[in-house]
């Protein structure tokens, strides 16, 4: 997998979940959070703690009790869509793109159906599933062709879709979400491209903002970077602030079911070491069974001072897909 990612980086520039075509995106104490055990750095993929047949990772922690606890966070009934609008111009990692075509089949020349003159429209989608706000499954990124829980690419990859670890097998995410405002921590409206937030700084930010993560939560990081998309799409895709492998290890030690951000790849780009690519993805996805959610619209939550909420995601169930365009909802 490292060879593949290195080759892509050489061809397209740096990127994690997306990079641009045309318009940019070229790749390139509350209580101190304490871990039961430190998460391992990216290396050979180890067996899942949930057993040899496990395919859902920390989604095992999203129990009915967890959903009921999350529901008790709803005090206003206000919903926040966290997904961005996607269209033909949405920057995406080459060669990704997505388009919608609307047709009126069989109605050429003004034809209608029946004596009541029925007219109708249908739409057709053509494109890739890693565009805009997206969910990374455990089949998306691994370590040297080995993916979560030791699954080898040759054993579950088919051109018609993966036979395990795909998006169709991800249970609904109905759980507690927490938002960590890294821009506020740095006392600026937006972090800079390539700006790294270390594991110690993540811990400090969470303590300052009274944020505590409990097992099975979704952790959302706000950097302010999404605002760059409208200002300068090329710059938005060329770089981004975020975490690194050590930051991912810290977050993994808190046992969330997913980590998301308002950036296209969650990790700081350019990488501190250009020869070490997407180690945070390896730590979260391959080593710990934690999903990654990219390009979240966190600004409305920050504007309204929302740091804890009910997180709901029912992802598209495309059999065998390794990613999905999604619109998670935060409810307070």
Q: Which residue's entry shows tokens 């409990």? A: 214
Report yes or no: 281 and 242 within 8 Å, Cβ to Cβ.
no
* Three-class DSSP category at 2: helix
Hey, which residues does 313 pair with through a beta bridge?
A: 173
pLDDT tens digits in sequence order for the chain, 332 residues long: 433 333 334 333 333 333 333 344 444 333 334 444 444 455 689 899 999 999 999 999 999 999 999 999 999 999 999 999 998 888 777 788 899 999 999 999 999 999 999 999 999 999 999 889 999 999 999 999 999 999 999 999 999 999 999 999 999 999 999 999 999 999 999 999 999 999 999 999 999 999 999 999 999 999 999 999 999 988 888 899 999 999 999 999 999 999 999 999 999 999 999 999 999 999 999 999 999 999 999 999 999 999 999 999 999 999 999 999 999 999 99
Helix (H) or strand (E) holding 237: helix 233-238
Report yes or no: 287 and 255 within 8 Å, Cβ to Cβ.
no
CA–CA separation, 275 vs 280, rounded Å? 14
Q: The whole model's pTM is what?
A: 0.87
Q: Kindly give, in sequence order, each residue whose CB lies less than 8 Å from that of residue 83, ignoring residues fewer than 6 positions away.
A: 132, 133, 295, 296, 297, 325, 326, 327, 328
CA–CA separation, 82 vs 221, rounded Å? 12
Whether residue 270 has a cis bond before it, omega within 30° of 0: yes
Query: Which residue, among 220, 207, 244, 233, has the nearest Cα to 299 in the 3D structure?
Result: 220
Assigned token pair, 302: 């920050």
């Amino acid at each position: 997998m490292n060879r593949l990612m290195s080759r892509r980086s050489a061809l397209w520039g740096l990127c994690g979940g997306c990079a641009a075509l045309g318009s940019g995106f070229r790749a390139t104490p509350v209580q101190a959070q304490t871990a039961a055990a430190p998460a391992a750095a990216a290396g050979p993929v180890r067996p899942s703690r949930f057993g040899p047949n496990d395919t859902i990772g920390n989604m095992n922690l999203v129990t009915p009790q967890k959903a009921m606890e999350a529901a008790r966070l709803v005090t206003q009934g206000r919903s926040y869509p966290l997904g961005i609008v996607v269209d033909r111009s949405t920057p995406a990692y080459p060669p990704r793109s997505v388009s919608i075509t609307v047709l009126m089949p069989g109605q050429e020349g003004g034809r209608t159906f029946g004596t009541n003159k029925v007219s109708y429209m249908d739409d057709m989608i053509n494109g890739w599933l890693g565009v805009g706000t997206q969910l990374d499954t455990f089949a998306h990124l691994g370590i040297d062709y080995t993916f979560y829980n030791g699954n080898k690419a040759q054993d579950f990859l088919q051109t018609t879709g993966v036979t395990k670890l795909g998006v169709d097998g991800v249970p609904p995410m109905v759980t507690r979400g927490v938002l960590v405002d890294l821009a506020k921590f740095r006392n600026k409206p937006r972090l800079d491209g390539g700006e790294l937030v270390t594991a110690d700084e993540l811990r400090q930010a969470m303590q300052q903002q009274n944020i505590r993560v409990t097992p099975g939560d979704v952790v959302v990081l706000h950097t302010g970077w999404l605002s760059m998309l409208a200002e300068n799409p090329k710059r938005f895709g060329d770089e981004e602030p975020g975490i690194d492998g050590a930051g991912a290890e810290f977050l993994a030690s808190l046992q969330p079911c997913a980590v998301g951000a308002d950036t296209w790849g969650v990790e700081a780009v350019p990488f501190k070491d250009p020869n070490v690519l997407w180690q945070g993805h390896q730590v979260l996805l391959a080593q710990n069974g934690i999903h990654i959610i990219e390009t979240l619209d966190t600004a409305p939550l920050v504007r309204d001072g929302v740091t804890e909420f009910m997180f709901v995601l029912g992802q598209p169930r495309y059999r065998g897909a390794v990613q999905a365009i999604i619109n998670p909802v935060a409810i307070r």
